[in-house]
Amino acid sequence: MPVGTQATVKALTPGDLRDAGAQMILANTYHLNLRPTAERIARLGGLHAFMGWDGPILTDSGGFQVFSLADLRRVDEDGVTFTSHLDGSSQRLTPERAMEIQALLGSDVAMAFDELVDPGLPRGEVAAAMERTHRWASRSLAARGGSDQAVFGIVQGGVDPELRRESVAAIAGLPFDGIAIGGLSVGESKAEMAATLSVVADALGSDARPRYLMGVGSPADFFTAVEHGVDLFDCVLPTRVARTGQVWTDAGRVNLRNTVLQDDPGPIDASCSCEACRNHSRAYLAHLFRARELLAYRLASVHNVTWTLELMRRLRASLADGSFGALRELVSAAFARPAEVRSDRAR
């Protein structure tokens, strides 16, 4: 799911997303409630009409901001008080308010409000946040909006196997429509992420509800997660790195700011069908980034989102035809290398 935190996937139009193959996108409860406010979006017809996106939308509850805005918030049993990074005003999020905001936004999937903490904290603090997440999960369900809005619960517990199993039991025991895995991709090692996903997968067993790994978007990580039964992902990474000039290809990363690409007439990736690869050369993109032209960010973002969604399509196909291991080896090897600095001519 490409991430549209502020009701927009940065630099891309809804048409760009449809052309790229996006089926579902993500928006953020905390940020949209600060600006322009959930009530205003509701008056304007809801989030789909407001941003012109007719596909499914998942809204995060604001739980990640409990973690990322640590210097601007205070957590208590009832909820979280934030100091707005926009104007310094005091903002309050509780499970009930988070669900109310998501109902006003009219998203298709709403997330339960949770408390995400650094997995490196002492075990007691990680456990306390997990237990609060479970209490908030029950309150989120009790406050859910209309019956047409699905609600996902979030498994926490850091990288501690025992806590993760306890959290799976608590969240899976509630009538959520899907199960999210939170608290990863926040500083733990790749080995810790893989081990934690294995624990969660084993604990969920044959539970058929959709499984959503929050905040993971690195190509190699997709394979680790899918191996452990994950269905859904979201991450700002494809568009964030695109704005720095880094694009993803079957050969790995390419840095469009590299001097050698100024004379390269080839596309970013000859196998890609996106607008940037169909119509423009690496030399042109290198020029746009050097000139700081806004089109550079759009074209690089179009490519990265298209390439990522095509990788997901290929990954699904590989599960059906038995080539998952071969595709994983290909992608892992490509992205283990540093950003490509040679031009197509040099090859």
Task: Give the DSSP letter string of 126-137.
Answer: HHHHHHHHHHHH
> Do the beta carbons of residue 51 and residue 42 sit within 8 Å?
no
State whether 285 and 190 are in the same domain: no
Parallel/antiparallel/unpaired status of strands 57-60 and 73-75: unpaired
Residue 7: inside a domain, yes or no? no
> Which residues does 121 contact at the CB level (< 8 Å), separation at least 6?
158
Q: Would you say residue 52 lies in a domain? A: yes
- The pLDDT of residue 338 is 73
Q: Tell me: do 112 and 37 sit in the same domain.
A: yes
- Residue 43, helix vs strand vs coil: helix
Catalytic residue chosen out of the listed positions 60, 114, 221, 264: 60
**225-226-231 Cα angle (round to 5):** 100
Residue 118 annotated to the active site: no
* Cα(1)–Cα(22) distance, integer angstroms: 7
Whether 162 contacts 178, CB under 8 Å:
no
- For residue 155 the two structure tokens come to 């498994």
Q: Is the Cβ–Cβ distance between 121 and 130 less than 8 Å?
A: no
Low-confidence ranges of the chain (pLDDT < 50): 341-347
Six-digit token string for 179: 């199960």
Distance in angstroms (rounded) separating the CA atoms of residues 150 and 146: 9
Q: Return the amino acid letter for 247.
A: V
Q: Name the burial class of residue 29, with classes exposed (0-12), middle (13-18) and buried (19+) by CB atoms within 10 angstroms of its CB.
A: buried
Point out the domain boundary residue: 235, 261, 284: 235
Pairing of strands 25-28, 57-60: parallel
Query: What helix, strand, coil percent values describe the chain, rounded to 5?
Result: 50, 15, 40
Spatial CA neighbour of 194 closest among 203, 204, 185, 207? 185
Q: How far apart are CA 75 and CA 161, in angstroms?
A: 25
Tell me how many degrees the CA angle 2-147-233 measures, rounded to the nearest 5: 20
Domain boundary among 210, 235, 260: 235
Across the beta sheet with 25-28, what order do the strands follow?
25-28, 57-60, 109-111, 150-155, 178-181, 211-213, 232-233
Based on the domain organization, do 225 and 280 belong to the same domain?
no
Distance (Å, rounded) from C-alpha 251 to C-alpha 17?
A: 23
Residue 250 is predicted with a pLDDT of: 95
Does 207 share its domain with 58?
yes
Q: Nearest Cα to 274, choosing from 22, 52, 16, 55?
A: 16
Cα–Cα distance for residue pair 246/293, rounded to 1 Å: 15
Whether 132 and 257 share a structural domain: no
Whether 117 and 185 share a structural domain? yes
Q: What is the span of the domain harbouring residue 254?
A: 240-336
Q: Under a CB-based contact definition with an 8 Å cutoff, are residues 283 and 256 in contact?
A: no
Pair 194, 245 in one domain? no
Shared-domain flag, residues 113 and 169? yes
pLDDT at 340: 52
Cα–Cα distance, 5 to 35 (Å, whole number): 11
At 281, list the tokens.
Answer: 């050369």
Say what the pLDDT of residue 147 is: 77
- Please check whether residues 50 and 189 belong to one and the same domain: yes
Please check whether residues 27 and 162 belong to one and the same domain: yes
128, 252: one domain: no
Report the number of distinct structural domains present in the chain: 2
Whether 3 is in a domain gets the answer no
218 shares its domain with 264: no
Question: Which CATH number covers residue 61?
Answer: 3.20.20.105
Asked about 234 being catalytic, the answer comes back as yes
The pLDDT tens digits for 50-81 are 999 999 999 999 989 888 998 999 999 999 99
pLDDT at 347: 26
Q: Please say whether the beta carbons of 57 and 108 come within 8 A.
A: yes
Q: Residue 145: its pLDDT value, please?
A: 74
Last residue of one domain, picked from the residues 194, 217, 235: 235
Instruction: Write down the catalytic residue from 16, 114, 221, 234.
Output: 234
Question: What is the pTM assigned to this prediction?
Answer: 0.95
Residue 150 pairs in a beta bridge with 109
pLDDT of residue 177: 98
